[in-house]
Every structure is written in structure tokens, then in C-alpha cells.
Amino acid sequence: MIIDGHNDLVSRIWRNEEIRHMHLDRSADGDFAGGFFALYIPSPTPAPPTTVHYALPLPDPLSTEEARRVADEMYEIFRTLPVELATAADDFQPGRVAAILHIEGAEPIEPDLSNLEEWHERGLRSLGLVWSRANAFAEGVPFRFPSTGDTGPGLTAAGKELVRRCNDLGILVDLSHLNEAGFWDVAALSSAPLVATHSNVNALCASSRNLTDAQLDAVGASGGVVGINFAVSFLREDGHNDADTPLSEIVRHATYVAERIGVDHVALGSDFDGALVSEHLDGIAALPQLVEEFRTAGWDDDAVAKLTHRNWQRVLAETWR
């Protein structure tokens, strides 16, 4: 059974774009039991990097009103998917797909948090404070290579209150896309395990989107999880956006996390239908092929089970209460 930390299927449907990875009618072929389904409010997409070193500009912030309108449209799409809404860790079972409602970038949340409980009642159980661009709560990381996530200030007062309220409600706070100062603010505030649903290792690929060793250590110390992102430009040592990237790069990042902070703190966070992934991994139906790569690299049955589903289930159970 495989639980995945991030996909952008809903945004792709909303934009009337071809589905590349998340063919839900093939879930059984991939042992795919579901995971985090993002509502991502898009900005104009920056051009993909064409040089080894790059620093892509971020779009302007979105208005809450516009973000709320688009999120409502995406929520209606989400509810039409052939999935079960996941609100408990044991909702994930072999033979069916359970979906965690995740908002990627908190722009649809009013700065005074007046609609947060309404979203929780709709099923929201995971919230990314930012998608890279700044908002009322925090600043994200611009897409840079080489770079760390040390790119700006931390959480605003509203952002700190949002973390507290998410803890109270049992909404997972996702650290992916958040800058380093914001990460440390969450680490100081949060009573829940620290989670980066789709991030990789900066020591192996010096992208601003990847986590430093100190950040990894904090995730491990909190009992949290890092979901390894399949985006090739966040995996490769050279940072190239090249689809001809071996699956061993995913294993390399997962192994680094497991060896540094323990196998209890690493999972999968594909970014399917939201990023360029290896051409050797044809969507959810091919996930068993990736699992075999881990076995070939020496991961035993217990470690594979933790990577594929048990770590996500443990953190969800501890967070959702």
C-alpha cells in the first residue's frame, strides 16, 4: 500500500490540462491508496530553468478574494473525484483511494482566520502556509539554484496564529515551499510533528526548495516526516530539469534522510501532475517499479512499509487527534 505526500491533480483538471500521472482508474495497478490532494491556486508559471545556475522571479501575491473564489471552484472538483475523503489515518486501506484535502498556499484563508473552521468542516486536514510566493502569513522560497531556503523573514503575526489554530483543530501544517526563517518559527510554535510533504535534501541538490541538514534534524526530533519529491530539478546534484533522470535519485535522497534522522521520518511526496518527474516513472501505476528500486538498494520489508505508508499514517494519527 502506498500513500503519497503531494499531487496536483485538482489544479490540472481546473486548468483543463492533460493528466500525466494521476490516472485514478489505475490506482490498483500501483498499490496506490491515496494521499494529499492539493488545491493550488496558480500564478503565471515561471519559465523552467535553462541554465545550471538560476534564480526565477516569483509572481505577485494573490488577493484573498480571488484565491477564495478559485479554491471554492477547486473544492467542487475535488468532491467529484472517485475518492474517499480522508479524516483519519486508518481511512487508508488497500483497494481504494482516500484523499487528504490539502490547500497549498494559505491565500484562501482570511488573514483573521474567520473561515478556517469552515474549511475544517469541509474536510481540510492539511495546509501549506505558502506556495513560494509571499502571502499574509509567511514568505516562501523563490526557485533558485544553488541556494538554501534562507531567503527572507519569518512568519507574520497572522501566520503564527494560523499555526496555533491549525494545531488546535488538528490540521497538519506543511513546511514545503516555506522559507527557512518561517520553518524555524513553525518549529518553535507547533505542538505537532514537523512535516514537509514534498521536499528533498539540500546537501544532495542545492535547490532553495530543499531542506538543510539542520532542518532535517528538527523534523526528526519532532517525530515528523519528509516526503521525498520526485521533481527532477530538486533531485539531481546538477539541478538540471532533465526527464532522463534515473529513479535511483529518489532513492538517494530518501536514503540520506533515513540515515541522518531515521527511517521513521521519510516517506514519498511525488508532486505528480505538478512537476517534471523522471520519464522512467509513468505515474501512479508505476509506483511498484519505484518500490523495487528501494528493495534493490537494500531497503528491507519493514523499511519499505514505513516509507510507503506507515510513516504517513503515524504522523497523521498524531496530528489529526
**Tally of domains within the chain:** 1
Q: Per the structure block, which three cell numbers stand in for 230?
A: 520526485
Conformation bin of residue 211: beta by default, left when phi > 0, alpha when psi is -120 to 50: beta
For residue 301, what are the domain limits? Answer: 2-320
pLDDT of residue 58: 82
**What's the Rg (C-alpha) of the chain?**
18
For residues 203 and 212, the answer to whether their CB atoms sit within 8 Å is yes
The whole-model pTM stands at: 0.96
pLDDT of residue 55: 86
pLDDT of residue 51: 61
For residues 313 and 89, the answer to whether their CB atoms sit within 8 Å is yes
Q: How many Cα neighbours within 13 Å face the side chain of 12?
A: 17
CATH number at residue 66: 3.20.20.140
pLDDT of residue 279: 98
pLDDT in tens, the chain (321 residues): 999 999 999 999 999 999 999 999 999 999 999 999 999 998 766 555 656 677 887 878 899 999 999 999 999 999 999 999 999 999 999 999 999 999 999 999 999 999 999 999 999 999 999 999 999 999 999 999 999 999 999 999 999 999 999 999 999 999 999 999 999 999 999 999 999 999 999 999 999 999 999 999 999 999 999 999 999 999 999 999 999 999 999 999 999 999 999 999 999 999 999 999 999 999 999 999 999 999 999 999 999 999 999 999 999 999 997
In terms of Cα–Cα distance, which of 249, 316, 309 is closest to 278?
249
